[in-house]
Amino acid sequence: MNFKRLVSLIKQGAPKEQYYLELGSYFIRKGTGYVVGQPFEFSQVSRKKDAPKICKKQFFIKNLYFNFRQNKITYKLTTNPDLNRVEQEG
């Protein structure tokens, strides 16, 4: 969490809702286990009876957001990597 951002919000007298939004976004990002731009492989077995084969595809997470109606974290996928992504070491 960006502690400096929270302290600056308190110093500037931001409304408490903004403070809660910053905390909420932090916990949603940490609770997913994934980050935007992270690659993962998807395997699918073909349904042909004579010669089934495994088809592997690589997808990248394009967007993560919290769906309040379904009470779960949803995502959008893409096949193109985000070239401007910066790797975070941690």
Say if residue 90's pLDDT is above 50.
Answer: no
pTM, whole model, 2 decimals? 0.56
pLDDT digits over 11-49, tens only? Answer: 899 998 888 888 888 887 787 788 888 888 888 887 777
pLDDT of residue 87: 56
The C-alpha atoms of residue 80 and residue 40 are separated, in whole angstroms, by 12
Q: Is the pLDDT of residue 88 over 70?
A: no
Question: What's the rounded mean pLDDT across residues 1-7?
Answer: 79
The answer to whether the CB of 77 falls within 8 A of the CB of 59 is yes
Q: Give the torsion sign (CA, 79, 68, 18, 24).
A: negative
